[in-house]
Structure 1
Amino acid sequence: MQSVRKSLWIVLAVSFLAGACTNEEQNVAPTDDNEALTTATLSLTNTANAQDVVTATIENLNTTPDVSKATLNLKANATYSGAIQLYDKTQTPTLNATEEIREKANEHLFVYTPSTSSLLTMTITDKDTNPAPGPYPIGLTFSLKAGPAATGSLKVQLRHQPNAKNGTTTPGTDDLNVDFPVVIL
């Protein structure tokens, strides 16, 4: 009787350990989720006057966006060099998502779309390292040419395109999709 109990305990222990090993060794496919973003900031410097710097920020991207500091006040017909910074303020410390996007540049594309073609002309100035037919634009840095006096908006999208980036906006999903108000004087 005692040997039956001992055998039963051994069977139970082995079953338990085998089950535990199975759970620990379970392979989970990695995911390449979209970026978690709470803040987007555009910084522009007038190429004719380095003292003329324009900064616009949209906060709370993951809830109700705060656009109180989002207006781009530009000079008519001026050219600006620009950059975008993205943050996830739900992390402690705040995560600079721009660095992560730079590291994964081959999977990301910024798309800048003015509300009218006469409002702004945008040229992306940075490229990824995708092989031919790449490299493709990234959009962390850009050149912006303001048109004549007008108002409108600049839509900024960050397209997440893992294993699909081809230099167009079509593949992937949006990590970011916001509108910055534009006032040109």
Structure 2
Amino acid sequence: MKKQLMKIAFAAFATGLVLTSCKKDKNETETNDEEVITTMKLTFVPVGGGATLTYQFEDADGPGGLAPVQQDIVLAPSKTYNVSVQLLNVTANPADDITTEIEEEKDAHRFYYIPAAGSNITVSNLDNDSNGVPVGLTSTWTTTAAATGSIRVVLRHYPGNPPGKATADAVDSPKSGTDIEVNFVTRVQ
């Protein structure tokens, strides 16, 4: 029994030693830190003219705390819009424009636009990365008849070098993780 207790004590000591040796030194810098994204802005420019529209989601104090505020997306029927997305971190002063980082790291990011059935919105013409895989910083949205629905906008991050992003990847691909996800209410009227 004494030998077993000694073995258990030694194993616990060795495990503690290994776990301690794996801790990061406080002076080490981490690479590819996740960015805080508090705001998603979608800007709609009507093809053929008309007023530019901007709709946003904002969680000004970051995750937790106060509830986020978001606007419904209201679009005209039978209309096409060129859409761009902008991401911000407004907890920084001045606010950080995360969009520039996404632009620089296109091969490691992808927006998914998933309209609910019956929303009467289609999304196409997403911009691509250097490998021809969709990124979605810009896109084209087309409406048909009047409807109320929703659209899910998801930014996924593909880690690794190279990231291994492919056109056929589903929004929930295990190769990537969600940076931000917003479900906007949509109205075509």
TM-score (norm: length of structure 1): 0.76
- Match in the other structure for 1:81: 82
- Match in the other structure for 2:55: 56
Q: Look up the SS of the partner of 1:62 in the other structure.
A: coil
- Which of 145, 167, 187 is the matching residue for 1:183? 187
Counterpart code for 1:148: A
Residue 29 (structure 1) shift: 7.7
1:65 and 2:63 aligned = no
Counterpart code for 1:48: G
In structure 1, runs of 5+ residues without a counterpart are 1-24
RMSD: 2.1
CA contact (8 A) 1:34 1:160 kept: no
In structure 2, runs of 5+ residues without a counterpart are 1-24
The structure whose Rg is larger is 1
Where do residues 27-176 of structure 1 align in structure 2 (5 Å cutoff)? 28=28, 30-49=30-49, 51-60=50-59, 62-63=63-64, 64-67=67-70, 70-116=71-117, 119-129=120-130, 134-162=131-159, 163-167=163-167, 168=169, 169=171, 170=173, 171-176=175-180
1:26, 1:65 → 2: CA distance? 33
CA contact (8 A) 2:118 2:147 kept: no
Residue 164 (structure 1) shift: 2.9
2:127, 2:34 → 1: CA distance? 21
- Match in the other structure for 1:7: none
Residue 28 (structure 1) shift: 4.9
1:173, 1:141 → 2: CA distance? 21
2:33, 2:114 → 1: CA distance? 24
Counterpart code for 1:77: S
1:159, 1:109 → 2: CA distance? 5
